[in-house]
A and B are shown apart, each in its own frame.
Chain A
Amino acid sequence: MNIAWKEIKKNKVRFLILGSIIFLVSFLTFIISGLANGLSQDNAALIKDLPDGQFYMSTAADETYNLSKIESPIQDNMLNEKKDAVALSIQMGFLNDQNGKQQSVAFVASTDSKLFEHVKDGEVILDRSMKEKGIKVGDVLTNNQFSGKWIVKGFADDKKFSHAPVAFVNIENYKDMYRTDAMQLVFVPGEEKAQAAAGLQAFSKKEFLHTIPSYSAEQMSLNMIVWFLVVISGMLFAIFFYMMNVQKIGLYGILKAIGVKTSTLFKMMWTQMLFITVLALSLSVAFSQGFKMISPDGMPFHLTLETTLQLSVIFLVIGFIGATLSGVQIKKVEPLQAIQQGEV
């Protein structure tokens, strides 16, 4: 007989309250995690969405990409040697729209590569968030440093850098704007190990992300919030399972007295914990994915199903550990003590 299920059926309210707490806490963690990832995407989606590989910048730049200059001969040499390699530059700047209103953007120019938008001379492709600011395909945009004009060719999804929408410009336009022939970076996709190159320093994608000003500090704070939430949630789970077990000490004692195995009582507790936690987490996953669909477009919210499932597994493991630790009382409970305590 499944006594775990019988208890849930009879004490619906008690288990509903426990399930609600697990649901609310995990839902909160998913939402905060979505916001943290959203901010992270907002800061560096342009880089994060690239495949793994190696970034090269000049050693003299002291790990600051916008001070880097890779001279043309070195750059050409690298691009010739590595078929998929791409040279690129990123500069924060402004675009003036047709009404003369300034829009903050990150200009990105690159050599031909399927990893970056291909734009012709005088054209610009913008992150889709610019569309919400009223910019349309065909609009003419200008910049004080650029002698020409750009016509908006289209929009790209999720192309953000340093919390600004990316504006992909042609490499010649970039050179004109910043009066330089040298690009800042060379990216070699798929390269696991950095190749030695004179005057260049190599960074993995993760290392390069941390050279972006404020990225590390921001991510550390956000990750701290998420992990604190996970730890606090775990403690909450353990406390609630503990409280439930304390309430049932007398019952466990009587069951042991009539000969129920301690392992059966643990199985009963684990079954209940798994049932409640899985149900609450499934609801949380569904609600958080639903929230992703209805969250305002301007809100930096990025929550993949993979992330929620990973967090769910962590919650399950924490819940299991919490329940098991609190279940130590089951092992300790003396049948005689429960009998002498009176009616359960």
Chain B
Amino acid sequence: MTDTVNAATAKSVRANLCKAIESGKLRSVLPILGFVLIVAFFAIATGGRLVQPNNVRLILNSTYVLLIASIGVFMIMSMGSLDFSQGSMIGLSCIVVCELSQTSLPLAILGGIACGMVVGSINAYFHVRRQIPSFIVTICMMFLVRGIVAYLTTNAPAMGAGYLQADLNTTGFLLPVTIACLVAFYLVFTFTPLGATLKAVGAGQTAARFAGVSVARTKTLVYIAAGAITGFAAFVLAIRNGSVTATGGSMLETQIMLALVLGGLPISGGAKVRFSNIVVGVLTYCVLDRGLVMMGLQTDMKQFITGIVFLIFLALFSDRESIQVIK
């Protein structure tokens, strides 16, 4: 008797849950729920070590570069485009930052940003002017720039000036800088037409054009801005690592895109894009990564499990209705 009642309750709960997911109301909080679940799971699995101050600081340290670089990719993905060149871009910018840091700090920062903007504008030229789909353009760019990075670091890694790591690699400097970047972007995204414009391009380029959005100009500026932001993230990476090798920043593009998708960003961009996707996504990704390390998993095993977790997240959370062709 109780069993049937329980079964009936469970069934109605599940039906309600499904309805809520379908209606899209729940979907916006699912990523946050996922983040809480991941934290809870690893907190228990590591016997509470995950939430000890030491580990929290380690996790925080691993978020800076990702958080900053995600801002640019977030803009690109809001428009329904993709960018695979971010990892190699950050590698190249990081070399520029390291070399120029020997001369002066402001020059190093500007140099890194300029380098990112150059790569971003090449992406924009081929994607916008030559009308090539963004994922192909940026995959080509990924190989091209990675080649340059490898060439420049053939004999020895590019070494940053000593003060980068010695003086600046502190939570007291990096945390405020990262938060400042996020807050600045949040304000621009929410309180100027930028957010609506990006979403409109993602929701439908042609209709956006007929509503007065200059699609080509927007895309071009966004790719260049994303390059600039990644160039700045390269400065933070240089502070964290002190030097760059041939693999500097490799796989960063995948990490960013997966983090954003974990944070609930629709792959096709558009109306359902939220600023919170960046923060929730990157934090989830970094906790997952750190948690697996703390459980003593080897790299190969870690990748294996990360892959499974992603697929589960995507299967549960992604909004299949609005997925269209990726441009």
A and B found bound together: no
List chain A positions with a Cβ less than 8 A from chain B.
Answer: none
List chain B positions with a Cβ less than 8 A from chain A.
Answer: none
